[in-house]
Amino acid sequence: MKKIIALTLSLAMAASLFACSSSEEVQGQDATETGSGVYTGVGQGFGGEIRATVTVAEDGTIEDVSLEHDGETQNIGTIAIENLPAEIISAQSVNIDVVASATVTSDAIFSAVTDALAKAGIDASALVAKDQGEVVKTAEEITTDIVVIGAGGAGMTSAINLKQAGFEVVILEKMPMVGGNTIKATGGMNAADTDVQAGLEIEDSVEVFIADTMEGGYDINDIDLVTIMAEESSNAINWLDSIGAPLPEVTFSGGATNKRIHRPEGGAAVGEYLTEHLSRVVEELEIPVYLNTTATELIAEDGAVVGVVAESKETDFTFTSKSVVLATGGFGANEDLYTTYAPELKGFVTTNTPGATGDGIVMAEAVGADLTDIEQIQIHPTVEQTTSILITESVRGDGAILVNTDGVRFTDELLTRDVVSANIIAEDQSFAYAIFDQQLRDGLAAVEKYVSAGITTQADTIEELAELIGMDGTVLAETVANWNTMIVAEEDTDFGRTAGMANEIVEGPFYAISIAPGVHHTMGGVKINTSTEVIGTDGNAIPNLYAAGEVVGGVHGANRIGGNAVTDIIVFGKVSAESIIAKLGE
């Protein structure tokens, strides 16, 4: 669906169109002269083309920028679409900061505007951003019942439950948008013994869920936290249902004995879906969300947390509250921090949003919190390196193979994330290509995003594809032919792969995506008890400080299994609220 956004100043645009029509070309696809007029340009976004219409005044001033796009991601790319036109006009330049978290869309907008300006004879690269002048900061003191830090899944779930119970709550979010890493979750939410499973006649149990999670985590998980997560998972599904966010489909996912991963109808990506619904309820309940506001410090008095210091570009805030919930997510976007614990990850790209910097861990440590499993960091094997777009496991699950730069397979593509990652790293240049065909694309919606983001290479034959990615066509053709033979024979005699072997790679066009491992999930974090109270290095709970979600360690042990991140945030988001409600209600 074509979306038209930011069509501001349309009257001014129309006026300038008439004003300049005598002297300049308008709709400048073909214009070459320098000067005023309305010019259009194109950039390649995450969801396809972004088209800019730029109005240039007689004196060369950028008067208006309006954008059209084919399908940038809601709450990520669309934030850049909404905010950047005004910023470009204000700075009179495209040489300004990207919207954090929406880099691909931001760059596409800059390209589209640059393209349009070039048609006006203006070299956008030479436009120095106008000094916006020094911002005079104000100080604000706010008193509330609870401050929730972080507007991802855990934070919004906690805040909604608190507000529903009648408490005053505010959410602080350092990014310009809500959603955190939660918005990027694709698979679904694991839950056992649910009404949805019962309706679908799926047999499962809390006990098997616990066992699967412990086994997946190499048994170092905190069994008490895992037990709460599994026991409360069914209630969490019901709660989501109650706020209008049902997850009615259930399927298999890696590491689960039974069908347990609950997804939105039609298999839509769970993260975008939940973010949309949670933020809708936050809005309905009129919970204040302070965007672009970074919590910098927890205020402690006599060992108890009594508030939060935070700042935005314009304001220094001091929040005073009865409780604080840390829901700041993980630290997968903070290379300095994760290489402190895992130096071997130096130089890895990350699949995380830029807000995942581990601030909550640093702030909690400063008031005496203990950490657990902090060196446990999950890498995902298939991440496109120029955009950090995660290529979902379903691509391999549906039949793609991985080949090295020589065009040769080197692994069972569906081994666990850590093993496939290690096998890719061991290859020449430490990257590989995922190879698949049109048949796979037709059956997997996610591939459309990769194509529209421009990260796929495509050709009508395997030989041509090989040439485009700089490898020997004969070798790649032989690899694919050999693979197809093994599929027909139902046995991977090379690497013993048993899954994702339903279809041969035969139907052109053929596709390649270049991938290498990237940092994905930080399993470690602050230590909590089963009430989500943060535990200090002295072994006692730090009064009034709670934590939920990826900022917490212990739930996933040494390896998080697919579908457990969402369970973690919804269950422990709820538990944090319930614990505070019980405490403040005393």
Q: How many Å is the Cα radius of gyration of the chain?
A: 26
Q: Could you tell me which of 383, 372, 379 has the C-alpha nearest to residue 560?
A: 379
Give the integer Cα–Cα distance in Å for 440 and 471. Answer: 22
Q: In what order do the strands lie in the sheet with 189-190?
A: 189-190, 261-263, 249-251
**Least separation in angstroms between CB 527 and ligand ADP:** 15
Q: Residue type for 291, please?
A: L
Q: Give the burial class of 463: count Cβ atoms within 10 A of its Cβ; 0-12 exposed, 13-18 middle, 19 or more buried.
A: middle
Please, which residue, 512 or 551, has the CB nearer to ligand ADP?
Answer: 551
Alpha carbon separation from 207 to 191, 256, 257, 500 (Å, rounded): 11, 12, 11, 28
Reported as type and span, the H/E element at residue 547 is: strand 541-547
The residue number whose beta carbon is nearest to ligand ADP equals 152
Please, which residue, 359 or 373, has the CB nearer to ligand ADP?
Answer: 359
**Least separation in angstroms between CB 578 and ligand ADP:** 17
Please, which residue, 413 or 568, has the CB nearer to ligand ADP?
Answer: 568
Give the integer Cα–Cα distance in Å for 438 and 486. Answer: 20
**Least separation in angstroms between CB 295 and ligand ADP:** 4
User: What DSSP string describes 422-450?
Assistant: HHHHTSGGG-EEEEEEHHHHHH-THHHHH
Four-residue CA torsion sign, 19, 23, 28, 32: negative
Give the integer Cα–Cα distance in Å for 362 and 334. Answer: 12
User: What DSSP string describes 184-202?
Assistant: G--S-EE-SS-HHHHHTT-
Please, which residue, 154 or 519, has the CB nearer to ligand ADP?
Answer: 154
**Least separation in angstroms between CB 371 and ligand ADP:** 16
Please, which residue, 156 or 480, has the CB nearer to ligand ADP?
Answer: 156
Give the integer Cα–Cα distance in Å for 68 and 555. Answer: 43
**Least separation in angstroms between CB 354 and ligand ADP:** 8
Q: Which residues contact 464 (CB under 8 A, 6 or more apart)?
A: 473
**Given the rule CB under 6 A, which residues bind ligand ADP?**
149-155, 172-175, 180-182, 294-295, 327-329, 355-356, 359, 549-551, 569
**Burial state string for 300-314 with b = 16 or more CB within 10 A and e = fewer than 16:** beeeebbbbebbbee
Please, which residue, 260 or 521, has the CB nearer to ligand ADP?
Answer: 521
**Least separation in angstroms between CB 519 and ligand ADP:** 13
Catalytic residues: 417
Eight-class DSSP state of 2: -
Please, which residue, 153 or 562, has the CB nearer to ligand ADP?
Answer: 153
**Least separation in angstroms between CB 115 and ligand ADP:** 32
